[in-house]
Amino acid sequence: MMLIQCPWCGKRDENEFVCGGTTHIARPPSAVTDAVWGAYLFFRENPKGVHLERWRHTWGCGQWFNAARHTVTHEILAVYRMSDPVPDLSAGGAAS
Amino acid sequence: MGQKYSAWSLLREGFSGHRHWSPAWRDAAPKPSYDVIIIGGGGHGLATAYYLAKNHKITNVAVIERGWIGGGNTGRNTTVVRSNYLYPESARLYDFSLKLYEGLSQDLNFNIMLSQRGVIRLAHSRHDLDGVSRAANAMRMNGIDADVLTRDQVAAMAPVADFSPDAPYPILGGLLQRRAGTARHDAVAWGYARAASALGVDIVQNCEVRGFVQENGAIVGVETSQGRLRADRVGIAAAGHSSAIASLAGFKLPVTSYALQAMVSEPIKPLLDTVLISPGTGTYVSQSDKGEMVIGAGLDLFPSYAQRGSFAVTQTVLGATLAIFPCLSRLQMLRQWAGIVDVVHDSSPIIGPTPVPGLYINCGWGTGGFKAIPVGGWTLAHALATGKNHELAEAFQLERFNTGRLIDEAAASGIAH
Ligand SMILES: Cc1cc2nc3c(=O)[nH]c(=O)nc-3n(C[C@H](O)[C@H](O)[C@H](O)COP(=O)(O)OP(=O)(O)OC[C@H]3O[C@@H](n4cnc5c(N)ncnc54)[C@H](O)[C@@H]3O)c2cc1C
Ligand SMILES: [Zn+2]
């Protein structure tokens, strides 16, 4: 069971959250090729390692936030707000 | 090699203390060059090698497996085989697979223990009942056997479930495919491996693919932990690790890797001789030949490459199982595990060429590709041998994620596995 740090409520059980998938995906303008639009909708890095992703504290405060999480260890290296830039993860994680 | 299994060979070996069985297949060291290399020694990779040799007479083939054959999802799945999909393209594909399964023990001379015990999808609500009728109609239109069961008919087939008036999830009816059932997962991997090996295929274990060798953009070989191997046709059948391998060749896939978990109880006396799937509560249950209750869950819904499975989902699936089978409440669980599955947006596979010339892929089976091992191997072998898509695979191309012609079984059938 992961303990996830909601930026508003603090550490809570994984059961209270829903993962919203990869974050920081920029929507292309509407006049683009099918390949660009397909890439935007469906094609992902799917990394075996650190993944920047969205979570929602659905059965808590209901807020969305971003997390940097390792997809093998499930360690959460950083939690940051939706509009924040990608945090510097080189120091080995900012999770408190 | 070449030993034929039969009642007679069993009797003969039995009388001589089982000392003379030969290994079922040859554990090969890699040669420097092949006509075709398959990456991944799961069911799909092994079946591809077998059908390359059998259907297309291409035998200078290697299956390159990072660990041991069948150690991925093929050896971790709950072995449900069925073909009750909604769309015609899927129905054709999966029913071709089920038909191959029906003849596979004979074809491979290896008992894959196919047990067509039926699979029942339970309906717990009025909405579920409508869904059952819709699915049954679609299946019949596709020429697939389907029976709509009343509550009493489900109760007659699976009296062990809770049919009492105060059941938390009342069972109001079900959708039965009689030809569906289970097969022995290890036997499918080993049966294909043995038959492919007998036709000359090299099965190379403990050999990881770490890169590709390309000339003018086209594939001419793979870099492995046991050195460089040349081949100008390479097939990927690596399930949850497909994205990692695609990235070695410089392209992306519409795949997300998730953990899917299952668990078994201690063995008990015969209790359930069919498979029950309860999409509404998120559990499905069968009983293995050893007597263990085999319980499968839905996905752990966050990207993962950890073959463990989250305890949050374990709790959910056990809760759901007890709601339907209160009689199991004193049962001890023996093992829980997970496999990493390759989920795409429409829950339909990808079988065909990649953007890199010479490189083909079979992936996207997600939570339900065990049933598709025969057809996945058949169609990938066809693409590798002829350079053209098999007609069954025509609709299941990578290109559909650009054209938008998805085959959305996820929303349609509402059932995993
Ligand atoms: C818990 C669970 C329950 C399931 N239940 C069902 C079910 O009831 N019915 C059903 O139809 N399906 C089910 N599935 C899905 C099914 O198991 C898979 O779709 C199917 O087994 C995929 O087969 P495969 O050969 O493609 O993959 P795998 O069997 O996973 O084989 C892929 C192989 O590739 C190897 N590999 C990866 N990377 C490399 C590399 N770099 N170099 C060399 N080798 C590599 C891996 O080691 C692995 O052995 C279930 C899956 C799970 C996890
Ligand atoms: Zn919160």
Determine the average pLDDT of the residues in B300-328: 95
Residues of B at the A interface, defined by Cβ within 8 angstroms: 241, 243-244, 247, 252-257, 301-306, 310-312, 315, 344-345, 401-404
Distance from CA of A32 to the nearest CA of B (A): 12
Residue B414 pLDDT grade (very low, low, confident, very high; cuts 50, 70, 90): low
A14 Cβ contact list (under 8 Å, min separation 6) = A1, A2, A3, A4, B310, B312
DSSP strand pairing (B350-353 vs A10-13): unpaired
Q: How far is B140 from chain A (nearest CA, A)?
A: 32
**Contact status of A75 with chain B (Cβ, < 8 Å):** no
CA of residue A25 to ligand 2 center, whole Å = 23
Report residue B247: phi and psi, to 5°.
Answer: -65, -30
CA A4–ligand 2 middle distance (angstroms):
10
> Which residues on B lie below 8 Å from A21 (Cβ)?
256, 303
Counts of helices then strands in chain B (DSSP H, E): 11, 19
Answer whether A41 touches B (CB < 8 Å): yes
Q: Best mutation site among B248, B305, B342, B405 for testing chain A: the one with the most A CBs within 10 Å?
A: B305
Flag whether pLDDT at A29 surpasses 60: yes
Residue A55, pLDDT above cutoff 70: yes
With a pLDDT cut of 70, the percent of chain B lying above it is 98
d(CA B230, CA A70): 34
A44, B311: Cβ pair inside 8 Å? no
Residue matched to tokens 């007890």: B322
Q: How many angstroms away from the CA of A24 is the closest CA of chain B?
A: 16
Among protein residues, the one with the nearest Cα to ligand 1's atom 31 is: B42
User: Which one of A15, A34, A42 has the shortest CB-CB distance to B254?
Assistant: A42
Number of A–B residue contacts, CB under 8 Å:
73
DSSP letters along B65-102, please?
-SS-TT-SGGGTS--EE----SSHHHHHHHHHHHHHHH
pLDDT at residue B189 above 70?
A: yes
Answer whether residue B61 shows pLDDT above 70: yes
| Least-confidence region, from B79-93, B152-166, B321-335, B399-413 | B399-413
Going by pLDDT thresholds of 50, 70 and 90, the confidence category of residue A93 is very low
Q: Per-residue pLDDT for B120 more than 90?
A: yes
Pick the CATH number of A35-96 from 3.30.2270.10, 3.40.630.30, 3.40.430.10, 3.40.50.300: 3.30.2270.10
Residues with CB under 6 A from ligand 1: B 39-45, 64-67, 71-74, 76-80, 208-209, 237-239, 241, 245, 260-262, 296, 339, 341, 365, 367-371, 417
pLDDT at B415: 54
pLDDT in tens, B337-350: 999 999 999 999 99
* CA-wise closest residue to B253 among B350, B352, B390, B329: B350
Domain ranges of chain A: 35-96
**B50, B77, B347, best to mutate for ligand 1 pocket (most atoms within 8 Å of CB):** B77
Integer angstrom CA distances of residue B46 from B49, B283, B353: 5, 30, 19
Residue-level pLDDT at A91: 65
CA of A70 to the centre of ligand 2 (A): 21
Measured from the Cβ of residue A33, the count of other Cβ atoms closer than 10 Å reads 10
Q: A91 to chain B nearest CA, in Å?
A: 23
Decide: pTM greater than 0.95.
yes
Can you tell me the distance from the alpha carbon of B102 to that of B110, in angstroms, rounded to the nearest whole number?
13
Band (pLDDT 50/70/90 cuts) for residue B410 is confident
Q: How confident is the model at residue B411 (pLDDT cuts 50, 70, 90)?
A: low
pLDDT at A96: 38
Q: How confident is the model at residue B89 (pLDDT cuts 50, 70, 90)?
A: very high
Q: What span, in angstroms and rounded, lies between the C-alpha atoms of B342 and B258? A: 7
pLDDT for A90? 81
Model confidence at A95, pLDDT cuts 50, 70, 90, reads very low
Q: What pLDDT score does B3 carry?
A: 83
pLDDT per residue as tens digits for the range B272-296: 999 999 999 999 999 999 999 999 9
CA dihedral B396, B397, B398, B401 (to 10 degrees): -70
Question: What is the pLDDT of chain B when averaged over all its residues?
Answer: 96
